[in-house]
Structures are given as C-alpha cells and as structure tokens.
Amino acid sequence: MSLINIKIEGIPYQVESGITILEAARQCGYDIPSLCTFNHGQCSQGSCRVCLVEATGARGLVASCVYPVAEGMEIRISSPKAVKARRTSVELILSNHNKNCQQCAKNGNCELLHVAKLTGARENAFTGTKTPTTYDEVTPSIIRDTSKCILCGRCVARCQEAHGNGILGFENRGFSTIVGPAGNRSFADSPCLLCGQCVSVCPTGALMEKSEITKIDEAMAAGKHVIVQTAPAVRASLGEEFGMKVGTPVTGKMVAALKRLGFDKVYDTNFGADLTIMEEANELLARIKNGGTLPMITSCSPGWVNYAEYYYGDCVDHLSSCKSPHEMEGAILKSYYAEKNGIDPKDIFVVSIMPCTAKKYEKERPALTTNGLKDVDVVLTTRELGNLIKRSGINFAKLPDEEFDQDLVGTYTGAGVIFGVTGGVMEAALRTAYFALEGKEYGPVNFTEVRGFDGIKEATFVLAGKEIKIAVAHGMKNAKPIMDDIRAGKSPYTFIEIMCCPGGCINGGGQSYVRPALLPNEELDILDTYMAKRAAALYSEDERQTLRQSHNNPQIQQLYAEYLGEPNSHKAHELLHTTYVKDRVRFK
Amino acid sequence: MQRLSEAAVKQINEICDRHANDKTPLMMILSDIQKEYGYVPVDVQEIVSEKTGISVAEIYGVVTFYSFFSLKPKGKYIIGCCLGTACYVKGAQQIIDKFSEILGIAPGETTEDGLFTIDALRCIGACGIAPAVTINGTVYPKMEVSQVPKVIEEYRSKEA
C-alpha cells in the first residue's frame, strides 16, 4: 500500500492512497460531520451531502465519503463555504423529517440529531410538503416510521448483507421514495425475520423495537409475582448503555440493578440454556440411535426459525423440537417453580431481557404456552433494560456486584453462558454429548474449532468411535447453502447450529447501538472489533465458572430427578418442546 | 404463488430463462413480462425473485421507479397525455382533465371495462406539436379539449 501526501487545514499528513477523504481525515484526527459511520467512512451513495469539504483538484465541494484522496490534495473542512454547505445539507434533510425528538426513542443515539448539532442546523430553515408517512407497528418486534427515515439505505444494505435475500428496499421515486418491505407492506405481511439488524444500523428513529416497559409496570401494579431472567449476551453489552467500553462484562451490576427494580426474582436464562442442552443433546443422540431426521439443527434463534419456516418449510423436521432457553425457563417457572413455591401460575409474570427483537415475537407464538399460559409474558431488549435502569435513577457504574437468585432454577454452568455467541450452542452441546457418548468429560473442555466469526464453520469429531460432522452458520446468507444441501439430500452433517444474526446473539438486534460517531472513546475500527470484544466477555465468564458442562448443573439434575424424569421424557416434551409451521405465507 | 395459474408460472419462468445469461437481466425480464401481461404484480415478482436471486424488495423498487412498469393491469388503450413544459403551457392540463372527466378515472387508473388507462407523461419530445397525446403509439398532435370526446368515441366504436 503506497502512502501519499495530503494537507488538511494546511497541515501536511501522509495517508494510504485510495481511501476516501472522510476516512483519511479520521485517521489524521478530524471527524468530518457525516452520516457515514456505517462502514469505514465509505458510502455507496454519497447522496446526503452532509460531509462536504473543499478539496483542491475538484470542482466545487466534494462529498468526502465517496471522494478519494490524491497526491498533493489540500483539504479544507472548516472553510466558511464548506461549513455553510454542510449546514444546509442537514437542514434540507430535516425539512422532511418528523422533528418530535423529545418523544423519539432514538434520542441519545440519533446520528441525525448529532450532525444537526455539529453543523448548527437551524430549526425549520426549510419548510414545505412532507412525504406521506407509513407507521407500521403491527408486529410485536419492530416499528417502522417513515416520517423519521432519511433514506440512507443502511437498513437495506444490512438486511441484504446478513440474510442474502433482504426484505427491505427503496420504493417509488423522487419525493415519494420510501424504504420498506415490497409494496410498503407491514413487516407482519412480509417474510421479515424480525431480527432487528435494521434497527441496529438505522441512524434515526425510523426503525425501532416495540417497547414493552409499561407492561411490566402494569404487572407490578397488579401485584403479580414478577420474575426476570437475562440472556447471556445482555451482560456483554449492557454496560455500553452507561458509557462503558464495548465488551465490558457487567453481570454483577446488572443483577444488582434488576434487584433494585422491584422484581421478585432475578434468574439467569443460562439455567434455561443448560436445560436446552440436556434436551437437545439427548434429542440428537436419540435421532442418531433411532434413525431420526438428520442433520438436526438448533432452534434457539427465533429469527432463524422464522427463516426456516418462510423459506424451507419442507425442512422444518430438521429443526430440534426444543423451545429456546428463555421459553424453557418460562415454562419451568410456571410449572415446577410455581408448584414448589405454592404460587398460582396465573399470578407469575415472566420478563425476559434479551439481545433480540425477534424474541418479542417468539413469545407470542401459540405453540409456546404451558397449560394455556404464555411461557414468557414480556421481552425487553438490552437497550430497553438500559432505559428502565436510567428511568429508576440507578447509578449503574456505582452499583456493587451481586449474585443471581440461587434457589431452584438459579445455578448455571459456563456452557449456558456461551450460548450468546456463534458456535456457543454447538460447543455446549458437544461438551454434554461427549460425556454421554464417551462416559467422561472432554479433557480440554473447550471445542475451539467452532469459535470465531467465519460465516460457516465446519468440524469433524470422533465420538464413541463414530465420526460426527458438524457445522455452525450465522446470518441467513450463510444458512442458505447449508439448507439447500439438506433440501437436495446431500448434507454431510449430523448436527448444525444456526443463529440468525451475524456473530450470534452478542450482535443481536436488541443490543446496544455501536455508533462510532457517538463513541469518541472507542478505537476507529470499533465496527470491526465490537463483536469479538463482546464474545470475549462471554468466553471469560465461561472460564471463570467451576461448572462448565450443562449436565453438571446440580439444579438441572434435581429438576430431572424430582420433576421431569429423563431428558425427552413425556413431561419434558409437554413443557420444553414445540412445533413449527411448514407452510408460512411469505407475502400476505 | 397459488394465485397464479400453472401456465402463467411456466411462462414467467420461460421469460426468466430467456435472459438467464444476461449480466443484468432484471430490466429485460420485467420489460418482457410487462409487454406480455400488461403488468407485473407482486406474486409474479416473487417468481422472478426465486429465479434470479434478486430480492422481491429490489424488484418492487425497480417496478415502482420506472413508470413503464405497472403493478395493476393496464387498459387495452393507454392514453398518454404529455404534461411536459411546452404541452403544459399549451393547455395539456385541461386535456387530461377532460379525459378524466369523461372516463371517470384519475391519471394512472384504468376504466372498469378494462378499455382505457390514462397516463400522465413528462416530456415525450414532441414539443413542436404541443399539446400532444399518444394512444397506443398513435400520436394526436395539437389536441384541443373539444376533440377529446371524439377521440374516445373512435376507440369505443372499434370495440362495439
């Protein structure tokens, strides 16, 4: 890579050739106001004109996100002409924007508001007609409000990059242009996975999760026995809501906060994850033994289940019939826990804190009930939990570290913790399957072959003299070739883990926003490293556990001995397993 | 998908195959479908999506971007009224309003009998004969409001 000489504000710098002015400026310590935090200061469109600068050799002002640096180029960011032009660009975007910022849930994370402040955009500098609004709040997961959309196309790109055949696109043209599923349908009427990746990248309030905080207020006011459980990935991201570095593990503080929020019990979904492994590993062994449908595929990720039902309805028998961990935990809370504590299951209200927007939809699935009661009543995202804590006046950073409630369904193993990252469910299942087949624990504990962020990971293990080929995929783009092989009857695998979001739950659509422009204390390459940082938080928590295999969880053993009998018993099936839909209509 | 007949699905698949080797086949496929069926509804877009691997959202975006494509069936006779600058100053708005009034449909809509569609066009490059109207390729130069009923009658009588 060759270096070239440029000047910014008259000061000489050396930068790599071929990069954009925006990226070069960032490397030299200048943050040009822009809406281009999506991808290394590169934008495929260059249409928002927020990042205009003066550059020698160019006619007029140039959009720094698309204009490459050249030898000898002199760049002026602060010239009156450039400053004025950037302000005008933002004012023009604001002229077609619904500026009810105080009510907007993205307030605090809004990049448009950020650049408006930076450029000094004046209120209502331009007024006129606005594009007619579509407000879609039909699904339990995601709200689309086109009055907030600035047509940047990040959601369109993310949906396509993650899932191959994306469901979002630009429609109509000129002033009528909007972004949405084909035909401006609701997400509910299109094959949307509800994963929330679009919400993660949306710079404004155009795409948001559907908040359920008030339902908790109502349940507490009604005197319900309100139990909260937290997914493993949440602890790796929640700190970011309070200005901590990306990937800071905050398990203890999170528990402390939840105990101060009035929940009757604070449990870890990791118990549910351990239970899932017991059921799933034994389901796999039974399928292998009895000639059942193979390969078997994990079913923890509701976005993935949606994808399977929409696009591979003929293959849903390959999915494990196991409910996802938080649904299992909910089912146990409303049966075993209720009986043990003498509480009417109707009075138990289960809240799940999840890194996920699809889980909000999942809890509404008719098949996820126990004795007519929903296993889980409310799902909050990591971000919503952040809001709940802030609302209650808790100073998160000053909280002590506290422990989850330990009674009945409170213990968990390291295997449960790593569920939150791609490869984690597979590794947890392998630890238990190894024990079941070999009669001893796997010496090194870790199955490092399934770690990392490659789109598709493969490995072969010899268990009890039998060769077992496995695969791990994340992002539906990577699931597609695996599913096509299964459909064609030529899949070489026995067991497959699939998670919907790229990177797994640590990068779920309900996790804290990673917005470089709003994270001045992170490195420039934070978008490349945040997943690994969050994953490291989970792997280190796994390492710290004394118990690291699900089958060694004493309360899991007790649950089977006292209540469920064997894994995959009749009772276990009633409470912990589910069914899938073969013929889901994609476009209604 | 069950909303389309088997024959239609087969034909759409054939159209997609025709352009299978094109570098960017979408415009050609949609154009052929538009020509042969008169419109490109979403269930047809789904088949094109499956054949080409291009998302329905993207196909829908293309269909709604170009006025040549239509989501609803167009009439047998497409009345294109130019509303470009030259035609507009020569009274094209009154012409299109008259068509709308007589046919009882707004621009972009189709009459219930499926005979007429009114399209509002931007400049069609015939400024010398403004205001210009085209009906299925036939150009009507220097249109006057008083001629509109006669023109409509001309096509209706063909069908009688």
Q: Does B47 map to a domain? A: yes
Which of B53, B56, B65 lies at the smallest CB-CB distance from A182? B56
CB contact under 8 A, A587 and B56: yes
Q: Does B44 map to a domain? A: yes
Between residues 62 and 101 of chain B, which touch chain A (CB distance below 8 Å)?
64-65
Contact list in B for residue A586 (CB cut-off 8 A) is 46
The long-range contacts involving A119-123, CB below 8 angstroms and separated by at least 24 positions, are: A119/A33, A119/A50, A119/A83, A119/A86, A119/A87, A119/A89, A119/A90, A120/A87, A121/A87, A121/A90, A121/A91, A121/A94, A122/A87, A122/A91, A123/A94, A123/A99
- Regarding whether B81 and B149 lie in a shared domain, the answer is yes
- Is A5 in CB contact (< 8 Å) with chain B? no
**Residue A48, number of CB atoms within 10 A of its CB:** 24
Best of B46, B63, B64 to substitute, by most chain A Cβ atoms within 10 angstroms, is: B64
Best of B58, B59, B70, B122 to substitute, by most chain A Cβ atoms within 10 angstroms, is: B58
Strands A207-209 and A225-230: unpaired
Domain boundary pick from B65, B85, B101: B65
Q: For chain B, give the mean pLDDT.
A: 91
Please tell me the predicted confidence (pLDDT) of residue B57. 94
- Is A156 in CB contact (< 8 Å) with chain B? yes
- Regarding whether B83 and B112 lie in a shared domain, the answer is yes
DSSP per-residue letters across A122-169: PTTSS----PPP-EE--SSSEEEEGGG-----HHHHHHHHHHSS-SEE
Between residues 559 and 588 of chain A, which touch chain B (CB distance below 8 Å)?
586-587
d(CA A135, CA A257): 34
d(CA A61, CA A178): 28
- Regarding whether B133 and B98 lie in a shared domain, the answer is yes
- Regarding whether B53 and B14 lie in a shared domain, the answer is yes
- Regarding whether A125 and A67 lie in a shared domain, the answer is no
What's the gap in Å between the CA of A182 and the closest CA on chain B? 5
What's the gap in Å between the CA of B10 and the closest CA on chain A? 20
pLDDT-derived band at B1 (thresholds 50, 70, 90) equals very low
What's the gap in Å between the CA of A190 and the closest CA on chain B? 10
- Regarding whether B86 and B30 lie in a shared domain, the answer is no
CB contact under 8 A, B56 and A167: yes
- Regarding whether A557 and A452 lie in a shared domain, the answer is yes
C-alpha distances in Å from residue A407, one per residue of A229, A404, A415, A556: 14, 9, 19, 12
Please tell me the predicted confidence (pLDDT) of residue A352. 98
CB contact under 8 A, A165 and B53: yes
Domain boundary pick from A56, A91, A126: A91
Q: Does B89 map to a domain? A: yes
- Regarding whether A386 and A281 lie in a shared domain, the answer is yes
Task: Supply the range of the domain harboring residue B145.
Answer: 77-159
> Encoding tokens for residue B44?
């047809």
Q: Are A459 and A450 in contact (CB under 8 A)?
A: yes
- Regarding whether B52 and B94 lie in a shared domain, the answer is no
What's the gap in Å between the CA of B8 and the closest CA on chain A? 19
Closest CA to A337 of A227, A415, A244: A227
The CATH number covering residue B103 comes to: 3.40.30.10
Please tell me the predicted confidence (pLDDT) of residue A42. 66
CB contact under 8 A, A182 and B65: no
Contact list in B for residue A587 (CB cut-off 8 A) is 42-43, 46, 56
Q: Does B72 map to a domain? A: no
d(CA B53, CA A257): 47
- Regarding whether B91 and B115 lie in a shared domain, the answer is yes
> Encoding tokens for residue A78?
């602060």
- Regarding whether A231 and A185 lie in a shared domain, the answer is no
- Regarding whether B140 and B98 lie in a shared domain, the answer is yes
| Residue A24 burial (10 A CB sphere; 0-12, 13-18, 19+) | buried
- Regarding whether B106 and B52 lie in a shared domain, the answer is no
> Encoding tokens for residue A420?
């939150």
Give all strands of the β-sheet with A142-145 in edge-to-edge order.
Answer: A135-136, A142-145, A207-209
What's the gap in Å between the CA of B84 and the closest CA on chain A? 17
- Regarding whether B155 and B83 lie in a shared domain, the answer is yes
- Is A480 in CB contact (< 8 Å) with chain B? no
Q: Does A144 map to a domain? A: yes
Task: Supply the range of the domain harboring residue A150.
Answer: 95-209
Which of B53, B55, B64 lies at the smallest CB-CB distance from A172? B64
pLDDT in tens, A41-83: 667 677 889 999 999 988 899 999 889 999 999 999 999 999 9
pLDDT in tens, A234-284: 999 999 999 999 999 999 999 999 999 999 999 999 999 999 999 999 999
| Residue B139 burial (10 A CB sphere; 0-12, 13-18, 19+) | middle
Best of A477, A487, A587 to substitute, by most chain B Cβ atoms within 10 angstroms, is: A587
Domain boundary pick from A175, A209, A243: A209
Can you list the alpha helix ranges (DSSP code H) found in B4-121? Answer: 6-18, 26-37, 42-52, 56-65, 85-89, 92-103
CB contact under 8 A, B42 and A587: yes
Closest CA to A236 of A510, A502, A525: A510
pLDDT in tens, B81-108: 999 999 999 999 999 999 999 999 999 8
d(CA A135, CA A318): 37
Which of B45, B53, B57 lies at the smallest CB-CB distance from A167? B57
How much is the average pLDDT of B142-158? 94
CB contact under 8 A, B65 and A173: yes
Residue pointed to by tokens 């995202």: A381
Which of A172, A173, A182 lies at the smallest CB-CB distance from B57? A182
Q: Does A584 map to a domain? A: no
- Regarding whether A110 and A14 lie in a shared domain, the answer is no
**Residue B160, number of CB atoms within 10 A of its CB:** 4
Contact list in A for residue B59 (CB cut-off 8 A) is 182
What's the gap in Å between the CA of B60 and the closest CA on chain A? 6
Dihedral, A148, B46, A160, A95 alpha carbons, nearest 10: -20
- Is B59 in CB contact (< 8 Å) with chain A? yes
Q: How many CB pairs under 8 A join A and B?
A: 40
- Regarding whether A232 and A192 lie in a shared domain, the answer is no
- Regarding whether A471 and A549 lie in a shared domain, the answer is yes
CB contact under 8 A, A587 and B60: no
- Is B42 in CB contact (< 8 Å) with chain A? yes
What's the gap in Å between the CA of B141 and the closest CA on chain A? 29
d(CA A236, CA A540): 11
Polymer length of chain B: 160
ipTM of the complex: 0.86
- Is A481 in CB contact (< 8 Å) with chain B? no
Contact list in B for residue A167 (CB cut-off 8 A) is 55-57
Question: pLDDT tens, position by position, for chain A (588 residues)?
Answer: 799 999 999 999 999 999 999 999 999 999 999 887 656 666 767 788 999 999 998 889 999 988 999 999 999 999 999 999 999 999 999 999 999 999 999 999 999 999 999 999 998 889 989 999 999 999 999 999 999 999 988 899 999 999 998 999 999 988 999 999 999 999 999 999 999 999 999 999 999 999 999 999 999 999 999 999 999 999 999 999 999 999 999 999 999 999 999 999 999 999 999 999 999 999 999 999 999 999 999 999 999 999 999 999 999 999 999 999 999 999 999 999 999 999 999 999 999 999 999 999 999 999 999 889 999 999 999 999 999 999 999 999 999 999 999 999 999 999 999 999 999 999 999 999 999 999 999 989 999 999 999 999 999 999 888 899 999 999 999 999 999 999 999 999 999 999 999 999 999 999 999 998 888 889 888 999 999 999 999 999 999 999 999 999 999 999 999 999 999 999 999 999 999 999 999 988
Please tell me the predicted confidence (pLDDT) of residue A114. 94
- Regarding whether B150 and B107 lie in a shared domain, the answer is yes
Those residues with Cβ within 8 angstroms of residue B4's Cβ, 6 or more apart along the chain or in another chain: B12, B43, B44, B47
d(CA A56, CA A572): 71
What is the number of structural domains in chain A?
Answer: 3
- Regarding whether A331 and A451 lie in a shared domain, the answer is yes
- Regarding whether A223 and A249 lie in a shared domain, the answer is yes
- Regarding whether A104 and A87 lie in a shared domain, the answer is no
